[in-house]
């Protein structure tokens, strides 16, 4: 079973700041998906297949990575980006793993 470790667990960023959230896998994986969740709401697909933005996601977001290290980056943090972000991986045949989440707050 692949374990996903996110860092940091929580962070605070100022408007306009660049933010990077990391997700490390215990074994090499082919890609990573990311979800955004705000309090009281369902998770939303945010970045899929490592670097593709889901519909409606602002282009200040980007994703990258390979092997065991993946990241979600926000260029020019905005107040609406405050949320918890989860990475997620799929293993054959149909086993899914989530990271523990990164809570991003605005200063």
Sign of the alpha-carbon dihedral angle for 51, 43, 9, 96: negative
Strand 52-53 relative to strand 10-13: parallel, antiparallel, unpaired?
unpaired
Per CB under 8 A, the list member of 13, 19, 21, 33 interacting with other proteins is 33
Q: Which of the residues 42 through 101 are near other proteins (CB under 8 A)? A: 42-45, 48-49, 54, 86, 88, 90, 93-101
- The reply to whether 16 sits near other proteins by the rule CB under 8 A is no
Integer angstrom CA distances of residue 91 from 1, 14, 32, 63: 8, 36, 11, 20
Q: Which residues bind other proteins (CB under 8 A)?
A: 33, 35, 37, 42-45, 48-49, 54, 86, 88, 90, 93-101
């Amino acid at each position: 079973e692949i374990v996903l470790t996110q860092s940091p667990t929580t962070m605070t960023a100022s408007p306009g700041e660049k933010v990077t959230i990391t997700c490390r896998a215990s074994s090499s994986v082919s890609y990573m998906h990311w979800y955004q969740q705000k309090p009281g709401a369902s998770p939303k697909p945010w970045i899929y297949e490592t670097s593709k933005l889901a519909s409606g996601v602002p282009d200040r977001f980007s994703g990258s990575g390979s092997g065991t290290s993946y990241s979600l980056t926000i260029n020019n943090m905005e107040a609406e980006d405050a949320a918890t972000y989860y990475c997620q991986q799929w293993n054959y045949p149909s086993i899914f793993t989530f990271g523990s989440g990164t809570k991003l707050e605005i200063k």
